């Protein structure tokens, strides 16, 4: 390998360099369960969550995305320190999105405050594994642990069972598909990649996100400040273009089928 190519090769190997050392443990090692903190639950919020469960979660708004210019903004790897500000921005514009959360990040989420906000504010929440390994490189048992532990902790904190997932790095195969089918999870990929993990410049991220077409699923990461900084421009620009912001399930008009892989409408 030429010397000048070495840095590029290393960059490709560490695409998600922001993950903690804990994420890079052996893929076959059982995930470490972080004890949950005891938290008080607001009775009004609890009643709201239970009502949502009884009515069917997530409660989908009705959009005809066969006619409308729909776009699904999706955010991976949180919840993190910038997720709260992102939720504020989305709430101010009455925009719903889909959040693919990492189990370890949920466990570190101060008792689940941000995780609950995602659900309570009408966003769709999805499984992004426990520790962000490439699932296609794992045994069936390890894939099962990565998905089930994250399903369980999110259900424990929010009362809802996730129905969609995103394989880390988009790495999937027939074995992963079979396991997601058993867990009742559809695989959601994307057709617009903002590369916001690599290029931490809000204008660059916004420009790429705004290349979305009707029916696009846009890949973003709420763990990066620059991504959240880009969101006002993304929302304003796509709104001017006539786009309607929807969750992944709303994009398809129904809950995607378990085990099946989706990239756009």
Burial class (CB in 10 A: 0-12, 13-18, 19+), 6: exposed
| Rounded Cα gap, residues 31 and 103, in angstroms | 9
- 239 with 206: CB under 8 angstroms? no
The residue written with tokens 């705004």 in the block is 210
62 is written with which tokens? 């009705």
165 is written with which tokens? 């997932």
The Cα-based distances of 144 to 45, 71, 103, 135, 202 in angstroms read 31, 30, 13, 10, 36
- Enumerate the active-site residues: 76, 221
- Helix/strand/coil (H/E/C) assignment for every residue in 46-99: HHHHHHHHHHCCCCCCCCCCCCCEEEEEEEECCCCCCHHHHHHHHHHCCCCCEE
The Cα-based distances of 128 to 46, 199, 201 in angstroms read 25, 22, 24
| Rounded Cα gap, residues 85 and 225, in angstroms | 9
Sign for the pseudo-dihedral over CA of 220, 147, 184, 15: positive
CA-wise closest residue to 114 among 57, 145, 75, 73: 75
């Amino acid at each position: 390998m030429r010397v000048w190519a070495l840095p590029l090769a290393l960059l490709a190997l560490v695409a998600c360099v922001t993950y903690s050392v804990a994420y890079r443990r052996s893929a076959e090692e059982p995930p470490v369960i972080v004890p949950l903190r005891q938290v008080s639950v607001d009775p009004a919020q609890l009643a709201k969550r239970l009502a949502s469960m009884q009515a069917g979660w997530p409660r989908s708004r009705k959009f005809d995305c066969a006619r409308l210019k729909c776009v699904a903004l999706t955010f991976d790897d949180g919840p993190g320190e910038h997720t709260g500000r992102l939720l504020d921005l989305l709430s101010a514009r009455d925009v719903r999105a889909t959040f693919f959360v990492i189990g370890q990040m949920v466990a570190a989420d101060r008792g689940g405050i941000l995780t609950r906000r995602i659900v309570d504010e009408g966003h769709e929440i999805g499984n992004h594994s426990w520790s962000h390994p490439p699932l296609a490189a794992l045994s069936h048992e390890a894939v099962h642990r990565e998905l089930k532990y994250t399903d369980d902790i999110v259900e424990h904190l929010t009362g809802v069972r996730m129905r969609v997932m995103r394989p880390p790095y988009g790495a999937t195969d027939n074995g992963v598909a079979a396991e997601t089918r058993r867990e009742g999870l559809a695989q959601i990929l994307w057709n617009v990649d903002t590369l916001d993990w690599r290029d931490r410049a809000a204008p660059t991220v916004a420009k790429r996100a705004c290349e979305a077409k009707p029916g696009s699923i846009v890949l973003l990461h709420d763990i990066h400040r620059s991504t959240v900084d880009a969101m006002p421009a993304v929302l304003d620009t796509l709104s001017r273009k006539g786009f309607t912001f929807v969750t992944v399930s709303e994009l398809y008009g129904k809950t995607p089928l378990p085990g099946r892989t989706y990239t756009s409408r």
